[in-house]
Chain A
Amino acid sequence: AQSVTQLDSQVPVFEEAPVELRCNYSSSVSVYLFWYVQYPNQGLQLLLKYLSGSTLVKGINGFEAEFNKSQTSFHLRKPSVHISDTAEYFCAVSLRGYSTLTFGKGTMLLVSP
């Protein structure tokens, strides 16, 4: 079975600083990888996903993530964060083919002025 580990439960940063949210996964077979964002009291929105091809994936709102197969990681990055990026970020994995998402426990990104 696959699993996802988000190493940081909370990441505080100042506005305009760069940020990296870490995600590691475990699976014995090939997977798809996702990052979702959840703003307060709202549902989840897809930021980006890796299915195949280029290991650097660009998403919405200036976020990007890099798939590293050897390190089984899929870290999320943004070069300059805004106050409005304050939210919970979830990394998720699914097996290729028919499968549902397995989520990590989330990382709360707190951006302060």
Chain B
Amino acid sequence: DTAVSQTPKYLVTQMGNDKSIKCEQNLGHDTMYWYKQDSKKFLKIMFSYNNKELIINETVPNRFSPKSPDKAHLNLHINSLELGDSAVYFCASSQGSDSGNTIYFGEGSWLTVV
């Protein structure tokens, strides 16, 4: 059983398109995240949700809109895709909001904008 699963794993799309990445965790966690890994492998937090509520939004363009329909799901919708959005997007989850709790990552979604 995959603890944190995200779909699609690979996505190639044209500039200007709108796309979504879905994420589900079956760990019973109440906190979920989206991280972005750029071409130089640098990882940065984008969003954090706790019990379906947005906790952290790290200066991400408003073309990116996360949605959490329930505690087990955190989807990422991206409007008007740009070349610079090409990256690997990781969904993650943890139990509770304490920063000492282990964060479990999904396998990533490789987004390529052409």
Contact = CB atoms under 8 A, between A and B. Distances in A.
A97 B98 contact: yes
B111 interface: no
A45 B106 CA distance: 9
Contact of B102 (A42, A46, A88): A46
Contacts, number: 57
Interface stretch (A15-23, A72-80, A99-107): A99-107
Contacts of A95: 99
A interface majority secondary structure: strand
Contact of B33 (A42, A46, A100): A100
A44 B37 CA distance: 11
B86 interface: no
B108 A96 contact: no
Contacts of B43: 44, 90, 101, 103, 106
Interface of B: 4, 33, 40-45, 48, 55-56, 58, 90, 97-100, 102-108
